[in-house]
A and B are shown apart, each in its own frame.
Chain A
Amino acid sequence: MSLEEPTPPETEVGVTEAGGVDYDALAELLGEHVIDREEHVNAEAFVVRPDEVQDALFALRDEAGFDHCSCVTAQEYGDRYETIYHLTKYDDRTQEVGVVVPTSKEDPVSQTAEPVYRTADWHEREAYDLVGIEYEGHPDLRRILLPETWQGHPLRSDYNQEKPQVVTLREHANPLQEDHRAGEDSDTMFLNIGPHHPATHGVLHLKTTLDGEQVADVESDIGYLHRCEEQMCQQGTYRHQIMPYPDRWDYISAGILNEWAYARAAEDLADLEVPEYAQVIRTMSAELCRIASHMLAVATFALDIYGDFTALFMYGVRDREVVQNLLEDLTGQRLMFNYLRLGGVAWDLPEPREEFFEKTRDFLDELPERLEEYHDMITSNEILQMRTVNTGVLEPEVAKSYGATGPVARGSGIDYDVRRDDPYGYYDQLDWDVITEDGCDNYSRVLVRLQEVEESAKIIEQCIDLLEDWPEEEREIQSNVPRTLKPENDTEVYRSVEGAKGELGIYMRADGTDKPARFKIRSPCFSNLQTLPEMSEGEYVPDLIAALGSLDIVLGEVDR
């Protein structure tokens, strides 16, 4: 791979000379905060007292350089509740550490991590909502996915899943009533943007306070599309029953990327091998998905800026259609691919193979011309530049604190891509680049996506070359995987892949049965959406919409 190795600064504590994590040094750094150590499949974890969370996290962030709080997982054990902070570094994704915070069953209170990592805000709200752990000092500990009036915490063992709950949202019973949320005598106006609105890309509700046309405050209200994906995965068996679900998270044709997130985590958990041939097919199909996803992202962003069903939207959909046809040939599906299997893929390339290769090559050959068209109409369009340059600015430090990943982070100049930084699949043997732009604005994020399409095309081309020359007798699409998978009791893994929107992570804990005891999804959109107020406060409403469009969120993935 032609990519330069990220070199961590030498002053950092807890890095071995080989570039790995020196857990003993970290333990020394944390000193008395550590009450126990755990071994997870992906990294070691330190157990910390619930009232010392911030001290431990501050030390890890400031002195050991763990600046990326990738995920916060909450779960219930027989005798305790547990919060796990999965920390890693933007500079080196392979360096990971977990911080486990157990709390008692009677009094599940734990110190909040929000002052350390802004992203913990929403993650802890979700933990409170679904598991019921309370975070002391949290600025706004309310339910996030479920309605305010919901009774009980659904991922607790004592929760009655049979009992139906009818929820009426009384808050907006009369949308016309006087609203003085911003103070009795203020000049601001409160405006509900969504959940039914042409530009919220799904059922997102933005509670916006306007000062004239300027956004004084915006708060995202999510959860309208919450479908209990985590719980459904916990009720499915590893081997076959979970794989269809990931297609339903980010359903904007990013299915195989999502499937890979589960496949990677489960394969690490159960220690499964994936044949090289299958890895190449996975890499190729995942990048096809990425192109389709980015095409739609650019198209809908243009729609948000242009304002009606314009040429650009249709061009995006037209070109995405070609990719969709390729994926249909490969997987038999256009939306819910269900193509990956643990230990490989479902089936080999479609026969006749030459035809598939030819179609794919045709697409790749035409792509540069198509992209030229996009650049003509989007990136070199002066009105669009006027609208997008220097609007929706997201500074890199802010982005990191919110755990932003994917094109959103790369548009802010953060050189972070899981495909390169924590290689999986066949990526490390192919020649491609990670795209970053330093503009930090809406324009940069679109530029990043358009250029990433080119990089994906490069990857696909190399995969096709490899697949064409692959000897027929070595085309092994699946390794030998047991019919029933029962990973050892109490093994835990957190693994992520680079989804279309960013780092898509899966945490799983096995309890010795054929189903996971806890299945947690780290959705990139969830973290990215948190940055919206930072990007849009003080801007005009149109820029709020543009910023939202440039985040490219899919509510199916935000709400899960």
Chain B
Amino acid sequence: MLQSGNATNATNATAAGGEVTTLTETIAGLLGLSGPAGDFVGGVIGGALIITFLLTLVAVSGIWGKRKITAAFTDRVAVNRIGPFGLLIIVADAVRLLSKELIVPEGVDRPAWDIAPIIMVFSAVAGFAVIPMGNGIHLADPEAGLVYVFATASIASVGLVMAGYSSNNKYALLGGLRAVAQNLAYEIPLILTAASVVIFAGSLRMSEIVAAQAAPLISLGPVTIPAWYAFVNPFAFILFMAANLAEVGRNPFDIPEAPTEIVAGWQTEYSSVYFVLGYLAEFLHIFLGGAIIATIFLGGPAGPVLPGFLWFVAKMLAVFLFTQWMRSAIPRVRIDQLIEIGWKGMLVLSFANLILTAVIVGVIA
């Protein structure tokens, strides 16, 4: 059943109950289905709901929010002509982007060129399946949830290489190669840092990681600070935030696109709907990064007063805001510097963090 109580109740319930009711099961239950058929129908409907929500979020934040945020950072006004606060620009832009001519350059390697943007979107969307968003919105809760998220998110690299290579454009090729070099250099620190959280939580299951963070860390009078891993291990949190910037390709690590150097990187030859897909994938990846950070470091949907789902979205958007802030304020590093930071800096730091965490947890436990 959908839990109607507030977030604290929800997390308490999961902490106490151990097993969570996933959205799939809830929908199947409402429809009176059970077994594989129930799983299938529930999964499809639940997935459709979540994807619709995500697309709405991207539309609002990617078309309107991003401009407003960047404008605020850069002393401008941005969209304010169509509709209240310029919100109808979302409709106008959607129509504009979708009605543009799809230009297929000569010599592109099809179907790789067509599949690439779809793969990128898929890899981002698939990750959300195991993210507990609060209020029972949680599509699946496999035992290896965290591994699954990172696995699907990494598939995007395949899409980047495909796009870069099949575009038959030198800028795209450079962008694709840069993207792979960057993802290789930053995915390892990213996963190692996440592994330190797993050591704390003792599980890869997303719901259990969230539940473990509900315990109080310190009580200061009436205020209880929960044991969110961002508070427990701030070092890992900062490391993860930095690696995540590289993972989603935002300043100072927006090297795969680097508009002033290689025009648009792997996106150079994409137009119309394919461009929209690529753009969508980028924002979905930022949100997926936000969702992972919210889940493993910021206590998932936990938070006072408001429903857990709203807290979760707020945390995700906070990470999004952070990426936009970096984008406006921080210069891009050079490709060789990026690789150096990744392999010589972040990797060492994340290993140190992992080993220290393991030792501390081992001694305490």
Contacts and interface: CB of A to CB of B under 8 A. Distances in A.
B293 to A, nearest CB: 22
A310 B75 contact: no
B75 A307 contact: no
A341 B150 CA distance: 69
B332 A542 contact: yes
B6 interface: no
14 contacts: A176-B168, A199-B259, A199-B260, A304-B260, A305-B331, A306-B331, A308-B251, A308-B259, A309-B74, A314-B74, A314-B75, A377-B329, A542-B334, A542-B335
Given A176-B107, A198-B260, A307 B170 contact: no
Contact of B261 (A189, A313, A383, A545): A545
Contacts of A543: 334
Contacts of B332: 305-307, 387, 542
A314 B71 CA distance: 9
A310 B263 contact: no
A542 B261 CA distance: 6
A541 B262 contact: yes
A308 B106 CA distance: 29
Interface in B289-343: 327-337
Main DSSP-derived SS at the A contact region: helix
Contacts of B254: 307-308
Contacts of B337: 386-387
B53 interface: no
Candidate in B106, B170, B327, B335 with the most chain A CB atoms within 10 angstroms: B170
A318 interface: yes
A180 interface: no
A315 B260 contact: no
Interface in A254-278: none
Given A176-B168, A386-B337, A310 B327 contact: yes
A192 to B, nearest CB: 8
Nearest to A190: B170
Interface string A525-550: 00000000000000011110100000
Q: Closest 4 interchain pairs by CB? A: A199-B260, A314-B74, A307-B332, A384-B331
Interface of A: 176, 189, 191, 197-199, 213, 302-311, 313-315, 318, 377, 381, 383-384, 386-387, 540-543, 545
B96 interface: no
B85 interface: no
Given A176-B107, A311-B74, A381-B331, 4 more contacts: A197-B263, A199-B259, A306-B251, A387-B337
A153 B362 CA distance: 83
A48 to B, nearest CB: 46
A542 B254 CA distance: 12
B328 A307 contact: no
Candidate in B262, B331, B334, B337 with the most chain A CB atoms within 10 angstroms: B331
B132 to A, nearest CB: 34
Interface string B249-264: 0011010001111110
A387 B333 contact: yes
Contacts of B258: 307, 542
A387 B334 contact: yes
A384 to B, nearest CB: 5
A176 B337 CA distance: 31
A307 B334 contact: no
Nearest to A309: B74
B115 to A, nearest CB: 21
B97 interface: no
A477 to B, nearest CB: 37
B71 to A, nearest CB: 9
A311 B328 contact: yes
B76 interface: yes
Contact of B260 (A176, A303, A381, A386): A303
Nearest to B327: A308
Contact of B329 (A198, A305, A311, A387): A311
Contact of A383 (B107, B174, B327, B330): B330
Nearest to A549: B260
A541 B260 contact: no
A313 B74 contact: yes
Contacts of B327: 308, 310
B326 to A, nearest CB: 10
Interface string B236-275: 0000000000000001101000111111000000000000
A308 B332 CA distance: 9
A194 B12 CA distance: 60
A176 B170 CA distance: 9
Interface string B30-74: 000000000000000000000000000000000000000010011
A309 B70 contact: yes
Nearest to B258: A307
B106 A176 contact: yes
A266 B73 CA distance: 48
Given A213-B174, A213-B335, A381-B331, A314 B76 contact: yes
Contacts of B168: 176
Nearest to A174: B106
Given A306-B330, A307-B332, A314-B75, A383 B252 contact: yes
Given A213-B335, A305-B332, A308-B327, A198 B259 contact: yes
A307 B262 CA distance: 10
A513 B73 CA distance: 58
Contacts of B75: 311, 314-315, 318
Given A308-B251, A309-B70, A311-B73, A387 B331 contact: yes
A377 B75 CA distance: 15
A189 B260 contact: no
Contact of B331 (A189, A191, A199, A307): A307
Candidate in B107, B327, B332, B335 with the most chain A CB atoms within 10 angstroms: B332
Given A309-B74, A383-B252, A540 B260 contact: no
Contacts of A540: 334-336
Nearest to B337: A386
Contacts of B263: 197-198
A96 B174 CA distance: 49
Nearest to A196: B263
A219 to B, nearest CB: 17
A274 to B, nearest CB: 40
Interface string B159-181: 00000000010110010000000
